Structure 1
């Protein structure tokens, strides 16, 4: 997966190149600054992307409404004053700024403020929110402008963004995200985690009780669906959507009926399938290939979960 890398000291070229990745905007050096040292690496898959962006110098950035995408800006150092949707946030390594597609922004990045920026297409965010809710999104989705990064949930989400950036930086055919099933599931999980971690206009609806009139029947249907399709690009959101319920409702029903989560159930079925495949595999079979084919992106975590379930490593099963 090729990354787009730009290096320039020219202000006009910096504005043009960053605009190609994001959108047209004004870029103005702060008083006394005569040039920038732009360093940008942009990566994208599906409806999401990660950009590492550093002007090195103090600049003012004024984009109009983003319109087609959401933006989470995370300073690695330094700070930025971000005004968006009538609010002003001082963004630091402990506080990200989140821009929704509907309003102009006015940002002052201090000197020495490299950012890691996550962006997601508007339809992709709305589609994942609809899966979580179990119904269509019938209005704009506005995120709070300031996002604390010190909570365990936010830190976990940021690790997911870092993983995405690392994998998208790998050469073609060398990334786990080259596999379309894994890339699609990871994208959904990352956006879903953001929607559950950071406050937005639908947060209260996501927090409402999510009971179902027939949880036992719902769980049986979900298990049948997972058992039949766990080798495919299946996510818990897909299962909930196929059954006409929200993800929260499905999760609540699994906890009540089975004492587990649909994610854990799906993972267990995939582990069982890998176990069977390893026992039947001929010599020379790659554990990594089988794991990826069954939907496991994080191989270290896969190996740990496999050992916990079967009492041996995947390679030990393969050698039997």
Structure 2
């Protein structure tokens, strides 16, 4: 695979065949403590890496066999091998990894990544503080212990597949030269990835997550709706919604779905589309579909157009053209 078609190709950090340069970059960028390469002459390293607010996404390929050691860190790492064979060690446990077997390492544990020949992988790093905060909100209680993931054990293949598709979506958005991820959209994508990871990975709180949540009163739904209506043009975070209504996020989502037939985040999208339509119906000389899409929290024009047409039966450009003709 060429570097131009690698995931996150817009965020290159390493392109080298020199051991000295690799050593500097993996320590400085990735936080590794040491590494060893079996055949330095066959080294062919490609690395892409992007830091968001609570997560980091990366792609790595070395070409030859190598081992990279990481000290205890403040993040969990989900590793999706794309090709080849490798291994991951976290603490005292080691598992073989390949395209059909990803791994998930815990924060606060020394880790070793073994690259086999032609091994390539996509990975997601999530700050432990962000995961703990999100899990506490989902459970509706403080955490007594750190989150400890099973290294290669996941709750279901369907949830794991959903995690992979979500990562692919985020990567596609970041690599799309025709779209701009606005801060609100980035926050919500990160939030979705963290929540999906907590449900997809097996850990010491998984059994609690699977328990049925308590019901909430309808007033909680109205409070959340009011909050969304007042803050539709900024990031809408699960923590904020749970704080507004005073129940766990799982309770909120279940009750909201029961009362309104959709999730709170679907309601957020509905509200933003309504604001976009009002703007398109009252255009001025600076109004454009792209300007309104970005102002309403949509970073991808294609997704905005599709969602708008599903809601109103026409494209946003058609609404704008008709509104200008009537002005």
Q: How many residues align?
A: 314
Alpha-carbon displacement from aligned partner over 1:95-142 (angstroms, at most 9, x marks no partner): 211111222223322100011121122222222222322333332011
1:202 equivalenced with 2:209 (yes/no): no
Instruction: Give the aligned partner of residue 272 of structure 2.
Output: 270
Alignment of 1:153-192 (within 5 A): 153-169=159-175, 175-177=179-181, 179-192=182-195
1:24 equivalenced with 2:32 (yes/no): yes
Instruction: Give the aligned partner of residue 86 of structure 1.
Output: 92
Question: Retained in 1: the 8 A contact 2:32–2:69?
Answer: no
Question: Retained in 2: the 8 A contact 1:141–1:201?
Answer: yes
1:51 equivalenced with 2:47 (yes/no): no
Alpha-carbon displacement from aligned partner over 1:8-60 (angstroms, at most 9, x marks no partner): 22223212211212223221123x66552111121112121111111100112
Question: Retained in 2: the 8 A contact 1:10–1:35?
Answer: no
Question: Retained in 1: the 8 A contact 2:179–2:301?
Answer: no
TM-score, with normalisation over the residues of structure 1?
Answer: 0.89
TM-score, with normalisation over the residues of structure 2?
Answer: 0.87
> In 2, Cα distance between the equivalents of 1:236 and 1:297?
20
Q: CA RMSD, aligned part only? A: 2.4
- Residues 1:282 and 1:188: Cα distance change in structure 2 (over 3 Å): same
Runs in 1 of length 4+ with deviation above 6 angstroms? none
Question: Retained in 1: the 8 A contact 2:223–2:244?
Answer: no
> In 1, Cα distance between the equivalents of 2:60 and 2:156?
22
Instruction: Give the aligned partner of residue 36 of structure 1.
Output: 43
Question: Retained in 2: the 8 A contact 1:11–1:35?
Answer: no
Instruction: Give the aligned partner of residue 243 of structure 2.
Output: 241
> In 2, Cα distance between the equivalents of 1:93 and 1:133?
32
> In 1, Cα distance between the equivalents of 2:315 and 2:239?
30
Can you give the 5+ residue segments of structure 2 that lack an aligned partner in the other structure?
1-7, 323-327
Question: Retained in 2: the 8 A contact 1:95–1:148?
Answer: no
Instruction: Give the aligned partner of residue 296 of structure 2.
Output: 294
1:72 counterpart SS class: strand
Can you give the 5+ residue segments of structure 1 that lack an aligned partner in the other structure?
none
> In 2, Cα distance between the equivalents of 1:293 and 1:59?
46
Deviation at 1:3, TM superposition (A): 2.8
Alignment of 1:62-141 (within 5 A): 62-65=69-72, 67-141=73-147
- Residues 1:150 and 1:243: Cα distance change in structure 2 (over 3 Å): closer
Question: Retained in 1: the 8 A contact 2:179–2:299?
Answer: no
1:310 equivalenced with 2:292 (yes/no): no
Question: Retained in 2: the 8 A contact 1:296–1:302?
Answer: yes
Deviation at 1:276, TM superposition (A): 0.9
Question: Retained in 1: the 8 A contact 2:154–2:200?
Answer: no
> In 2, Cα distance between the equivalents of 1:143 and 1:254?
30
- Residues 1:124 and 1:100: Cα distance change in structure 2 (over 3 Å): same
